[in-house]
Every structure is written in C-alpha cells, then in structure tokens.
C-alpha cells in the first residue's frame, strides 16, 4: 500500500505520542520533501520533526512534477501541493491530509484521501486502538487540533462510542 502524508497527521499524532498508529495501519509512510522541510527547517522544534528524521518507516521523496506543484501553490501551501503531486505521481492508495481546500483539490484529481480522524476510525476498526474519543480529546487539548462540535459528535458516533453529557 502506498500512502503519502501531509504534515498535519504526523505533527498532531506525534504531539500526543500516537504516531505509531500510522506505522501500524500503513507500514510505510511517504512524505514529500516540502513536508519534511516544513517540519525540520524551522528555528524551533515541532512535534514530529525528530520522527521524520529518525523513523525508518517514514520516507521522504521529491515530487517531480514541478509545474503541477507550482500550479497547486496558487491555492494551497507547499506541503499540501507536493503531497498531492507526489500522491498522483506514485499512484498512491491513500493521501493523508486534513486541510479542507487541499481535500477539495485532491478530489478533483480523483485521489483517495483521509484525515487524522479517519485514520483513528480505521485504527479502531482494525483493533489497533480501543477507543477513538480519548485520542481525539488529546488531539484537541494537547495538540490544538480543531474539530467542530458537529464533527466531534459524528466521529464519536461512527466509532460506536458514547459522548459524555
């Protein structure tokens, strides 16, 4: 299975020490050079920056269709642009991406994508985690991940879990 990831799933799951869910689900994760750069070439450390440099199952590749990347950059950031271009080039089975506008563009290219919440639902379905809600709560409270109340309720319901009143 070929899976390309944007920055968000890696940084957010790293922030709550749950990045290994990605390895358990997908085996190998491919990130474009721009995603690597977004995480590593900063004057401060971000969650996931050490992981993308040290974990052998996270591989960095360069998107070669630079004209497509340049075209996509008119609408979305460098990491998202390269992730979409690389997913197309590799004929990826899945693109991990959370940004709404990037998802709209990915769908125009016929890419199959999921965000971090879909990753958690898949992990529960495969028995890799026992519950989605506490991890989503950690993403919100510790990583600053934004989820609307409506989506939060939907995800908890899709996971067959109970909302606390």
Give the pLDDT confidence of 130-161 residue by residue, as tens digits.
999 999 999 999 999 999 999 999 999 999 99
Residue-wise pLDDT for 60-100, tens only, equals 999 999 999 999 999 999 999 999 999 999 999 999 999 99
pLDDT of residue 75: 96
pLDDT of residue 43: 82
Question: pTM for this structure?
Answer: 0.93
Q: How many helices (H) and strands (E) does the chain have?
A: 10, 5
For residue 39, the number of C-alpha atoms closer than 13 Å in the C-beta half-sphere is 27
Measured in whole angstroms, the distance separating CA 18 from the mean position of its chain's CA atoms is 12
Element (H, E) at 148: none
Residue ranges of the domains in the chain? Answer: 1-165
CATH 3.30.420.40 fits 1-165, yes or no: no
């Amino acid at each position: 299975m070929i899976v390309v990831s944007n920055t968000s799933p890696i940084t957010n799951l790293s922030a709550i020490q749950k990045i290994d869910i990605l390895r358990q689900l997908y085996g190998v994760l491919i990130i474009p050079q721009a995603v690597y750069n977004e995480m590593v070439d900063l004057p401060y450390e971000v969650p996931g920056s050490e992981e993308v440099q040290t974990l052998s199952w996270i591989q960095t590749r360069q998107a070669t269709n630079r004209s497509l990347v340049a075209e996509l950059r008119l609408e979305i950031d460098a990491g998202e642009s390269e992730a979409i271009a690389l997913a197309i080039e590799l004929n990826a089975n899945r693109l991990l991406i959370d940004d709404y506008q990037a998802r709209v563009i990915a769908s125009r290219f016929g890419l199959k994508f999921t965000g971090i919440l879909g990753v958690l639902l898949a992990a529960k379905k495969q028995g890799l985690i026992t519950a989605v809600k506490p991890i989503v709560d950690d993403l919100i409270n510790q990583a600053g991940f934004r989820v609307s109340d409506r989506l939060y309720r939907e995800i908890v319901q899709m996971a067959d879990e109970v909302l606390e009143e």
